Structure formats: C-alpha cells, structure tokens
Amino acid sequence: MSRFLLLTASMGAGHDAACDELAARLRTAGHDSEQLDVLSLLPGPLGGGVRDFYHLIIRRAPLIYSGIYAAFFRSGAGPRPGSTPLAALAEDRLLEAVASSRSDAVVSLFHLAAQLSGRARARDRLTVPSAALVTDFALHRQWLHPGNDLNLCLTEQDAEQVRRTLGRPAAVYGPLVPGVFRPHPAGEGRWRERFAGPRAPVVMSAGAWGAGSGFEYTAEILRGAGYQPVVLCGRDERLRRRLAAVSGVTALGWVQDMPGLLAATAALLDNAAGQTALQALAVGVPVIGWRPIPGHGVEGVRRMAQLGLSDFATGPDGLLRALGRLVPDGPERAQRVAEGRRLLDADVVRPLESMLDG
C-alpha cells in the first residue's frame, strides 16, 4: 500500500470533486491518501484572498479575468508572468505536510499545486515523486513544470504536447467522475416526473458559484423553441431567486442528485468545460458549449468541441440547430453519447502506481 498526498483547491467545487473521486479510486486499489487545499499552504489570509479575488472577477468582472488569463496562462513570446512567487511562499508548508503525512507521492489537481510540487521537486527539496493531474480540457502553461515526474492529461493530444514541451512522461486518464454518473441512475424517474410535460428540459449550468451570463436571454430562446429551461444556480441563492421569478424557468440551487437530474434532461448547455460537462458525458447527455465564461471556460469549451465531445454554439441559430440534431433520439445523439463515454475508459491509478515503481 502507498500513501498519496492529493493537492486540491477550493475554487468552486470541481477540483474538490475530482480529488474526492481520485481518493476513492486509490482506496479501491488498496492505497491511502490525504487531501489538502493548496490555498491553505499560503501564509496568513493570502489563500483566502486569492480565492475571493477569483470568485469576484469571474462573476463580476469577466473582462479583467480574461486579461489575467491571457497574461498568466497562455503561452507567448518573451518573459511571461507566472505563479512562482505564490509557489515559493507555500513550499515549506508543502514539505511539512508531506513529512507529517508520510506520503509516498504528491498528486496536484490544481495548476498552482502543479507549479508548487514541480518547483520543489526540481530544487531537490521534495524527495518523493510528484504528478500533475490536469483537470482542464484547455492545457495552459501553468499546468506545466519540468520538475513533476508525471503529467496526467485528458487526451492523448495533450499528453503528446506535454512530452514535446517538457520532455517528461505523460499519460492519459479518464475524467474523475463517480460511478453513480451512469445511464439511467436511480433518481432519473423522480426528475422525469418533475419535468413531465410537452417541453423537453434543457439544463444550463452556472457552476458552484453561479458564474455566467445571459441566463434570462437563453431561457427566452429555449422557451420560444419549445424547450423547458432549467438553470443550475449552484450556491448562488441570489441568482436562483432572480431566475425563479422568470416565467417558465426552473431555477435550482445546490442539487444533491445530479446523476438523476442530468439523466432526465435532453441536453446540457455548458459554459466552463468542467465537472458538470464531464458528468453529463458519463450519464449520456449531449453537451453544447454556450456563452462560456472567459479564460479557461472559453478555451475548454472550444477544445471539447474540437475533440468531438460537444458542440459549440455561438449564436441563437447555432444553438437551436445543435439542439435540433442532438435532442431527438437518433444516430447523431447516439454517436455523441458514445464518444463521451469512451473518454471515461482510461485508468488513473495505474499510471500513478507506475510512477512509484519507476
């Protein structure tokens, strides 16, 4: 049995959900793990400040976040800003956590954590192997550090890019979606009763933080085309109350039975290419990228479409065409569902075990 230190980040809910699932799979394979929020390794209130700032700009100032993403995350000529100063501030506490937990390896599920572990490993301060587990479809440069022993990517194309860029090992893993996300889960019938009627329900996701724009506008498009708009508002109660007042909209807060809800819907309109999109693929629901949040949202949604895992609609006509092709049962919907579920097949534990053996 080996022990892994899993570094997550409380930025929304996606990284924590992936971390929980990785811990479960490691446990099933006979290993132990400990989970740690990388933001808690930063001194004083800095970690909370980083989270709160991101929370603010992703919801209230998307153009500012777009600029930050362009400067810090995209590749470009000449010197580029990065997260090295933050990683340096957290390094001592990471080493203390590795020692106190007696971990045999570190796995980073957030890009700052990948920079932290890679930097410590490159400087020979971290003496156990480290892996960067890339949770984004858009592989940006903050995920990449030559100090990490292994990089786990969602696609072979990204893995090959890592090998070329870093000259380091890379492998493909299946998205970390719990097994309860499968076709026809137990709660599907209850949600189908709730959505009963002539209008097929189409879900819009705002993530855990209620991020996104144009939900009323989209609901009007859907209603006009004969669909039932359903909005997942996450923990943003203010957004939920606002949308609940819109005629014909089903506005939901934090949903515990996501497998049943997704299985009972006709399609997901996704704005982030994150956990909700992956859950929909696992359940067998077509995904359409629509009005993505800036930065990683835009790039991830485009990347999913390029891979044939989703559509990316850029206007009302494109959205309705995509729904017209993917909502009815038929070969296009069946092919899209099959492509999504094929993505889930790759193992995540075996590459980590091989890293320890090598």
pLDDT at 74 over 90: no
- Asked whether the beta carbons of 262 and 340 are under 8 A apart, the reply is no
Q: Is there a single domain that holds both residue 159 and residue 195?
A: no
Domain membership flag for residue 169: yes
* Total domains present in the chain: 2
Residues written for the chain: 358
Domain membership flag for residue 357: no
Domain membership flag for residue 325: yes
Residue 314 tokens, joined: 């850029």
Q: Which domain holds residue 106?
A: 3-173
Domain membership flag for residue 66: yes
Closest of 125, 60, 64 to residue 97, by C-alpha: 125
Q: Is there a single domain that holds both residue 53 and residue 150?
A: yes
Q: Is there a single domain that holds both residue 252 and residue 307?
A: yes
Q: pLDDT tens digits for 324-350?
A: 999 999 999 999 999 988 888 899 999
The pLDDT assigned to 29 comes to: 97
Three-state SS at 230? strand
pLDDT at 78 over 70: no
Phi-psi region of 232 (alpha: psi -120 to 50; beta: other; left: phi over 0): beta
Domain membership flag for residue 350: no
DSSP character for 198? Answer: S
Q: Is there a single domain that holds both residue 115 and residue 223?
A: no
Name the domain boundary from 146, 173, 200. Answer: 173
Q: Is there a single domain that holds both residue 131 and residue 217?
A: no
Name the domain boundary from 121, 149, 173. Answer: 173
Q: pLDDT tens digits for 121-180?
A: 999 999 999 999 999 998 999 999 999 999 999 999 999 999 999 999 999 999 999 999
Q: Is there a single domain that holds both residue 114 and residue 200?
A: no
Q: Is there a single domain that holds both residue 216 and residue 86?
A: no
The pLDDT assigned to 87 comes to: 92
Residue reference for tokens 């930063």: 42
Contacts for 63 with CB less than 8 Å, ≥ 6 apart? 294
CB-count burial class (<10 Å; 0-12, 13-18, 19+) for 27: exposed
Mean pLDDT of 317-327: 97
- Asked whether the beta carbons of 150 and 355 are under 8 A apart, the reply is yes
Q: Is there a single domain that holds both residue 210 and residue 335?
A: yes
Domain membership flag for residue 302: yes
Q: Is there a single domain that holds both residue 269 and residue 136?
A: no
The pLDDT assigned to 59 comes to: 83
Q: Sheet with 170-172: list strands edge to edge.
A: 32-37, 3-8, 105-108, 130-133, 150-153, 170-172
pLDDT at 210 over 70: yes
The pLDDT assigned to 2 comes to: 96
- Asked whether the beta carbons of 266 and 322 are under 8 A apart, the reply is no
Q: Is there a single domain that holds both residue 154 and residue 227?
A: no
Name the domain boundary from 173, 202, 228. Answer: 173
CATH number of residue 105's parent domain: 3.40.50
Q: Is there a single domain that holds both residue 160 and residue 203?
A: no
CATH number of residue 269's parent domain: 3.40.50.2000
Domain membership flag for residue 50: yes
Q: How far is the C-alpha of 357 from the C-alpha of 3, rounded, in Å? A: 13
Q: Calculate ∠ Cα 8-14-17, nearest 5°.
A: 70
Task: pLDDT band for 77, please (50, 70, 90 cuts).
Answer: low
